[in-house]
Structure 1
């Protein structure tokens, strides 16, 4: 076997030996913790459930004892045995019995809701009330699934001997709940159909499940109580569907005290008193919480053991690291030192590493070859104005390894003369050579000048400087000297004639595209006037047969006016006037045509809904039409600037009106729903159909206060009114003005009003 296999085996065996013992110990500790924790949890849960069962049985026994006390009550016996007539009732006896009934149930919350029905008087006695018509009682307290007739026949008119009706939906004064009903006919030895009275105890499910909350609060599980027939008495943490699934599943054994079902430990105990079944479910993850802590500790110890084992394994492998010398030999071989390669697996590494290094060099060479193309693409995007911000320009410059050597300077164009309109292969090849000569000549000036081709006979270049003062005072002179020398050099040596044109000074990278556009206009002027020396944009003044008003400029001006941005619209309009007056000599006809184009632009603007519905429409329209082409440029400029101001003012006014409407809508919504404790910024935004951040900023801009502060003020104003009326308590007022906590309401009231609610109420009364 090769030596590397022995080294690997030694490393692997040492690693396994070191890790085997702590891994086994950790696993045994983990399994033991699960077993111990599970048994302890089961024992505690059974004990807890048993205690809850005993308390519940004791309460139910007290309920039964209560009915027995009523059975021996002399006043009740008199009432039960009296014969009632339609015109005469024992009112005093009923009143006295009603008063006696009121004293029961003060020590057992299961007796909070009960009544006694006297069949001879057809009256329902409750603590504090007597209903001479049972239907009046049933209007407020009724079973959701029983009609009055069914309730009367099944409960009031039947004989019951310690009967318990299982969990049933119940309506307690419009409050939906579920109750367990205990029924006992009086006297206790009543037979079927002959009981003169019945006592009914209505026990809310929450009273029963509260006794079992110790399990659910501790473990977050569920509880379920059923009677001997399997009817639900109490339910918490699960629904009836889960109960039915549990009962019908053959895998679940109803007789086992504890068993795992799905992800729960289910504990079941049965009452020997009334055969009720008490069942609780504990989530497995809660049951094994302590075991999980031990597991994490075990894994931590195992991780440390892994690290130690790795270090020991590395130490063992280092003793036998002779084959690694073959890898070192590969590196030496790559750098020119020969070595004899052995016939083993390291030959594979040798070949692949050598290939990887070769590919890396090839890739590096390819990247160097493509770098000029990347720089050229960056410069083309820069002069075309495709970048949106200075940060984007800087990021792209770093990516392409292109530096401008400054953020201020000039953009220029060099055109090779004599090739206009020629596009055959020989001419294009000759132009390629000419452009290359020009680029090399520019680079030979000593400073790196960014440049790129924009056509077969044109080159764009940038002269950049560190600051504006240098560019103004020295820059133009140096550029003129450089381009003059370049022009003479390429003509004398290669007979290449060139024309140079430069735009105005740009003071930021974002203005390079504007300087480029100016350079194109200067080049147009130079070619038009057959000028051979260098042409600067600020020195051009063309007697052109056309005016300057490109479509993109028109669209930009329209969009800025529609947005109400008057300053940007004025700047664009001023640049149009400057281009056609300072740098061009327009004929009278071209001037008239330009004015008509500008008037057409403003008339296009008026064809918008915002302007058509405005009172200014007719006046502005007539003002545009009345502009005379024969007027001076200054007067036309002044009139059109006024029109722009009017249109932008209208847009801003409509925006403000829309903002005001939204704010009023918000205020109205808050006025209607301030009492809702769930009223949030999200709810308000949903109501007005606007984003949350937008309405928050808008409300602040229009009203000068935050939306949350306004909501709080509205609530406090209403709270102050309620406090002055002295009709509700402070806690009730807190709920009425949208606070779930009276403590939070008191703090907010004191923060806004300056005093506490109680002090405010006292001062208002005084």
Structure 2
């Protein structure tokens, strides 16, 4: 009997041991398998992670550089209409006596200093070539150089040589590279032509010297913990700047050529070269190539550390598992029983208990969420960059990308903000990333930040509640003022915010960003103020309103609209800018110049007609809006007459037939690009290229035609929304409402309500 009991107890212990041991083994079998698999493939994982990390840093540096270089193009727009500069040029061009030279010097003292907010630029010069004259913008003297051989500070070119370099040259913009005192580093100058100061045999130019420190700071971040070498090359493989960290590769002309030659066969921009992992990325803006070289020995250090960690973790898991199973069979302790019950619940029932204290699943899910969040953040940053710069935001592909991002601006009120941190060098507690965290904590809504550098950041602020425009701006100012005051007390850093007007629709983000930049350039900083809005601009510095939507409407009305509709649009544009805003004479001229550029850009193909060419010439010389309005009405009539009565080329006939067909058949719910091309007998590629030249797609243009017709029907107040949706080619009123809101930013009901208001 005792023998049987002893045998029964032994069998129970064996059964108990096997049950929990097998349960434990099943739960940790997959992690153990993954651990051994990771150990064997750790080399590829480490190399892939390092390469991806460096590529992200390269892309970020390239994007920051492109954004800052794009901003340089706004400088001549400001300077060419400056009344003091124009007056100086007139005086200096006539400086044939001592008296007129003195007058020119006096005028030069009144030219305002162009304050650069960020660290991209070193100096800005304006050069007039007849008589030869160059002065630093904002300095009190304009020095005359004729036969003198004086050099420009760090440059190897003197004024006389530069004057000779410009003679007979005609360009809009270009880069000039000159050697500096540091080996293998160039002084980079950005030259922009001032066409309105052009005289015979020479061009007046703006010379913007880019900061060498700006490039160094960019390249410094493209390393692994300070190890490696990074550099930038021009399209001609000329070295612009470089950064050499610890254990860095020494660059020479010979090995630089070898690196370039080795990279020509790399498909994904990554390759190995003399014990270094090399990554590169090319800018689409200027053709510059950004390189990073990381020693493979540094990468192998991480590999060895990772393998040791995997081995230790694997052995520890096995020891703990065996010890736990032994203790369970040896002592039958209550805490270990609870652990075993939690572990065996997966084995017995297929899920974890709700009382389970282990965080295995939660940790795994958190890791996946973190990786997904990192990808989403990079994706959102790319969308934000395109929104701020206005890059292809009207295309269907961008709208699809915007829908998949976390940026929700549809029917939401938002402001764009430009943040600048002063005295950043005096403290290490603030940075762009830290400021983004502070903003998200203080803001009741969504903040979408985009960091330019450590001291400068752009952000979109969207409130969760539905607020009026004026209330929204007041609320935003209060929050940012409170945050700035608190951080000033804690960190001794003065933080300025420059806010745009409250806006809706993602198409206006670029305009709101331009408002922030102009506000930052024109508002004089006050020590006791932190937040600035367009209201802080002096009246003579208010910004005109002429967006990409205005340009599209203007061109379409000139080419296909009636004289009455074109006149109504021009009156609307006049009211919006001249009645509601108080613009300076220079800003009024900027508005006229913007409209003139729209005409030149979109209607150049009609200049072969003599009448239209004459109207074009008169438009380019006009200086008042009233005269411009009269000429635009004449231009619209002439272009439409040209389209109707003049023998057009085959491509023009096709374009005209496409637009006419869509105006006549938009009510067809089955209308698409393939259907239309088959009906007209034209090639789909030709039709798609035509819509691409319009800056749109077939579906987007058809949608605008339908919504325009729907607006006319809604204004008559004779049909229901459902009837209008059927008459404009929509299968249901739901899809019609969505399309209406997507195009105009408001619902059909809201449109009717606004049209009823006096």
TM bin (shorter chain): 0.3 to 0.5
TM-score when normalising by structure 2: 0.32
